[in-house]
């Protein structure tokens, strides 16, 4: 089992529904977020390209946040999900600094927080809140170890990229381009 998320940038309209759905699902306080939208514009009028995409923790195979955590609060499950144990976290911020995706923030309650791939929903057989709400259905979630899963199929069929591959983190959020 190796969870991964695949996001189709050709369909994303950058509406931020994934952000609100995550906030209400996970009680993320207003002013903070576990996922967010980026907009990249290239070219000059009228030859322009626009890429919109939803970003979050990449649940990296080689996760710098896990390696640098002094207390072991940041850890990785066998299914690849990277989590933070709130009451083991001393809020030192090393993981925030180490993350090439800027995916972590300090919760007002003191600990570091980030995307969990909605671990608690997966246990109920539900998709992550962001995936299940997306009005463009541009987000896919599943098991990369299963060659027949939707995510595996998409990565076989479509051109894709990952973010900051040069960081060597082996991220598990893929972007169809």
Partner 1 sequence: MTTSRRKFIKISALGLGGVAATTSALNMFGSNSYIDELVKENVAKKFKRTPTYCEVCFWKCAAWTYTDEKGAVKKIIGNDNDPHCFGRLCPRGTGGVGMYNDEDRLKTPLIRTTVNGEETFREASWEEALDLIASKFNGIKEKYGAESLGLIKHGAPGAHLEHLYKAIGSDTIAEPAYAQCRGPRETGFALTFGSWVGSPEPTDIRDTKCLVLIGSHIGENMHNSQVQEMSDAIDNGATIITVDPRFSTAASKSTHWLAIKPATDIALMLAWMHVLIEENLYDKEYVKKYALGFKELKEHVSQYTPEWAYGITTIEPEEIRKTARAMAHAAPSVIVHPGRHVTWYGDDTQRARAMASLNALLGSWGRRGGFYFKESIKVPKYPHPAYPHPKWGWHEIGAQYPLAQMGITTEVVKASIPNPENKYPVKAWLVAGTNITKSIPNQKLLKEAIDALEFMVVIDTMPMDVTGYADVVLPECTYLERYDGIRSATNREPSIAVRVPAVPPKYDSKPTWWIAKQLGERMGVGEFFNYDDFEEVIEWQLQKMGTSLDEMKKIGVKNYPRTSGPLFLNEDETYNFPTQSGKIELYSQELKDLGFDPMPKYTKHPEPEQGFYRLNYGRAPMHTFSRTANNPNLNDLKSENNLWVNPKVARIIGLKTGQEVWLKNQDDIISSFGIKVRVTERIRWDSVYMVHGFGHKEKQLSRAYGKGINDTELISKIAVDPIMGGTGMRGNFVTILTENPHKNTEI
Q: Is 106 in the site for partner 1 (CB under 8 A)?
A: no
Which of 1, 13, 164, 177 contacts partner 1 by CB under 8 A? 13
Q: Is 116 in the site for partner 1 (CB under 8 A)?
A: yes
Which of 52, 65, 127, 151 contacts partner 1 by CB under 8 A? 52
**HSE toward the beta carbon, residue 96, CA cutoff 13 A:** 14
Which residue, 60 or 115, has its beta carbon nearer to partner 1?
115
Which of 62, 67, 97, 135 contacts partner 1 by CB under 8 A? 135
Q: Is 74 in the site for partner 1 (CB under 8 A)?
A: no
Q: Is 15 in the site for partner 1 (CB under 8 A)?
A: yes
Which residue carries 């390209």 as its tokens? 49
CA distances 34 to 12, 27, 70, 143, Å, are: 18, 11, 22, 21
Q: What is the DSSP string of 129-155?
A: HHHHH-TT--EEEEETTSTTSHHHHHH
Q: How far apart are CA 56 and CA 35, in angstroms?
A: 4
Span of 9-17, 62-70, 151-159, 167-175 interacting with partner 1 by CB under 8 A: 9-17
Which of 45, 78, 147, 157 contacts partner 1 by CB under 8 A? 45
**HSE toward the beta carbon, residue 106, CA cutoff 13 A:** 11
């Amino acid at each position: 089992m190796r969870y991964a998320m695949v996001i189709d940038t050709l369909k994303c309209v950058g509406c931020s529904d994934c952000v609100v759905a995550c906030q209400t699902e996970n009680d993320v306080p207003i002013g903070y977020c576990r996922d967010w939208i980026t907009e990249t514009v290239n070219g000059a009028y009228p030859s322009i390209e626009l890429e919109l995409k939803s970003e979050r923790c990449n649940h990296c195979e080689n996760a710098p946040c896990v390696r640098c955590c002094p207390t072991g609060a940041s850890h990785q499950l066998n299914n690849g999900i990277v989590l933070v144990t709130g009451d083991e976290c001393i809020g030192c911020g090393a993981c925030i600094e180490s993350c090439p995706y800027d995916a972590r923030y300090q919760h007002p309650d003191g600990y570091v927080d980030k995307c969990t791939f909605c671990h608690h929903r997966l246990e109920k057989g539900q998709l992550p809140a962001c995936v299940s709400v997306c009005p463009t259905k541009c987000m896919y979630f599943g098991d990369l170890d299963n060659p027949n899963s939707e995510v595996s199929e998409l990565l076989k069929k479509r051109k894709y990229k990952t973010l900051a591959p040069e960081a060597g983190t082996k991220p598990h959020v893929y972007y169809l381009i």
